[in-house]
Amino acid sequence: MSSDLSFVSLVASASPLVQLVMAALIFASVISWTMIFDRAKVLKKARKAVELFESRFWSGGDLGELYREVEGERTRKDGMASMFHAGFQEFARLKKSPGIEPMAVVEGARRSMNVAMSREMDRLETHLSFLATVGSTSPYVGLFGTVWGIMNSFVALGSVKQATLSLVAPGIAEALIATAMGLFAAIPAVVAYNRYSNDVERLYGSYEDFLDEFTTILQRQAHA
């Protein structure tokens, strides 16, 4: 390929609007890759935290002692640890209040755990909507740049008496680069979104199972 048809020269010779489209797609790709690595780290940490806390929770130890351990930890309480901390704290507070029915105590603890779970899900789902947006819109943005570039190429050919392949090829090539950039930005974002959405769904299922199991344990203690 000649230097006139190199990638850099094609981008440099593109129209300002096509260049703007390319710059926007490159920016979206950089941001999406940053978020992809960030979500990979966060979700890996969340899965590991679930495994560690479940082993502690089902070890057969006293729940009050486990609560004091979680309370004393300086690290941020995430996932099941935050749900357990919120639920047991509310359970202990309501149980000390006079005249409250046992089921009211359990329901109060369950509401606190639901709030903690909602906050955790919001944290895990951060940036996923951006990945979905990049994955769904980038091809269309690139296609817009391609259509605009091809349109300009044909407009320029209107002033030429004899159209040849050497006159058409550069304009078509620089226009198609926008579509290629759109796909380059969209494909990783779509793959990451599908993968991370599945991971978040599995974590949500684990949190719900823990919430139900812990609620059952609190029901036994409330009626004891």
Is residue 50 within a helix (H) or strand (E), and if so which, with residue range? helix 16-57
What is the residue extent of each domain of the chain? 3-223
The average pLDDT across 91-100 equals 84
> Does residue 124 contact residue 43 with C-beta atoms inside 8 Å?
yes
- Mean pLDDT, the chain, integer: 86
153-188 pLDDT per residue, tens: 777 776 666 666 666 677 777 778 889 999 999 999
> Does residue 106 contact residue 88 with C-beta atoms inside 8 Å?
no
Helix (H/G/I), strand (E/B), else coil: 58 = coil
Pick the range with the lowest mean pLDDT from 102-116, 121-135, 153-167: 153-167
> Does residue 79 contact residue 56 with C-beta atoms inside 8 Å?
no
Q: How many CB atoms lie within 10 A of CB 216?
A: 10
Angle at 31 between CA 149 and CA 178, to 5 degrees: 10
Q: Count how many Cα atoms sit within 13 Å of the Cα of residue 41 in the half-sphere of its side chain.
A: 7
CA distances from 207 to 4, 28, 203, 224 (A): 58, 33, 6, 26
Helix (H/G/I), strand (E/B), else coil: 97 = coil
Angle at 3 between CA 24 and CA 187, to 5 degrees: 35
Alpha helices in the chain (DSSP H): 7-13, 16-57, 63-72, 79-96, 102-124, 128-157, 165-223
d(CA 188, CA 35): 11
Model confidence at 47, in pLDDT bands (50, 70, 90)?
very high
> Does residue 203 contact residue 50 with C-beta atoms inside 8 Å?
yes
The average pLDDT across 183-207 equals 95
d(CA 108, CA 124): 25
Q: Look at residue 2 in the predicted model and tell me its pLDDT.
A: 45
